[in-house]
Amino acid sequence: MRYYSHLSALLVIATTALPLPADYPTVLRGGAPDPDGSPNFFVDLPSPVDFKSLSELAIRTFRQIYGMRHPGQLKYTAFSSGGAQIRLPTLRLKRRE
């Protein structure tokens, strides 16, 4: 949540549903969650996609919002809905332990 305002300003299109903890009271959530909503930030792009601008946006986001200075700083975590760890060696990124 601490990056929310910065990402909103940078990406223009914000989340459609804030990520709230599962134990957050339903009343404070505003009732049932929007079935089409998402806690993820996104960008709607027209076709054909301007990949140069998109890559610049991605780099700016990693640098300005997340403080990444080098791709070697990126780490990933992946797991199934049951909690099993998923390894993705073709990403060529370190796993966050």
Per-residue model confidence (pLDDT) at position 75: 92
Query: Distance (Å, rounded) from C-alpha 91 to C-alpha 20?
Result: 29
For residue 20, what are its two tokens? 């709230």
Per-residue model confidence (pLDDT) at position 62: 87
Q: Which residues, listed in sequence order, are joined to residue 75 by a DSSP beta bridge? A: 94
Helix (H) or strand (E) run with residue 16 in it: none
Residues of the chain with pLDDT under 70: 1-40
* pLDDT tens digits for range 66-89: 889 998 999 999 988 888 999 999
35-to-16, 31, 39 alpha-carbon distances in Å: 10, 12, 11
